[in-house]
């Protein structure tokens, strides 16, 4: 599948962001380059290609962040925590924080959405 200007710019935006971004935030930062539908389509494609992962933050907003440790077969490995700052609203991946839990027999976990909330280091100053 070919690369489009929208895909290239969305990848660039996500690559240079220290925080996870919502489709709405991406659309705003692209200053009219593409509409919301195109943003969602590109994000869906980037997720399938293993470039980004998505999760829902504590406010129920879908956020996207660049994958750090997905394999070359585009299998996502995102059993890490996310941190939602209650002051500035930024959401960051905590790649080194892996939640530990046990589920009852016969339950099979397919996805984890583990979000911590509080004050980030930037706002704690």
Binding site as annotated, residues for Zn(2+): 85, 88, 120, 123
Residues 66, 50: Cα–Cα separation, whole Å: 9
- Please state whether beta strands 62-66 and 52-56 pair in parallel, antiparallel, or not at all (unpaired): antiparallel
- Tell me the C-alpha to C-alpha distance, in Å, between residue 78 and each of 35, 58, 116, 122: 28, 17, 15, 24
95 close to 80: Cβ distance less than 8 angstroms: yes
| Binding site per annotation, positions | 85, 88, 120, 123
Contact 54, 47 (CB under 8 A): yes
């Amino acid at each position: 599948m070919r690369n489009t200007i929208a895909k290239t710019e969305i990848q660039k935006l996500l690559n240079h962001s220290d925080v996870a971004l919502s489709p709405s935030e991406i659309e705003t930062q692209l200053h009219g380059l593409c509409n919301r539908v195109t943003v969602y389509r590109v994000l869906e494609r980037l997720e399938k290609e293993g470039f980004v992962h998505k999760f829902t933050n504590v406010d129920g907003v879908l956020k996207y962040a660049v994958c750090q440790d997905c394999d070359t077969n585009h299998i996502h490995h995102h059993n890490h925590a996310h941190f939602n700052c209650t002051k500035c609203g930024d959401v960051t991946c905590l790649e080194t924080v892996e939640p530990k839990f046990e589920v009852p027999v016969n339950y099979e976990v397919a996805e984890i959405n583990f979000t911590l909330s509080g004050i980030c280091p930037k706002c704690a100053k």
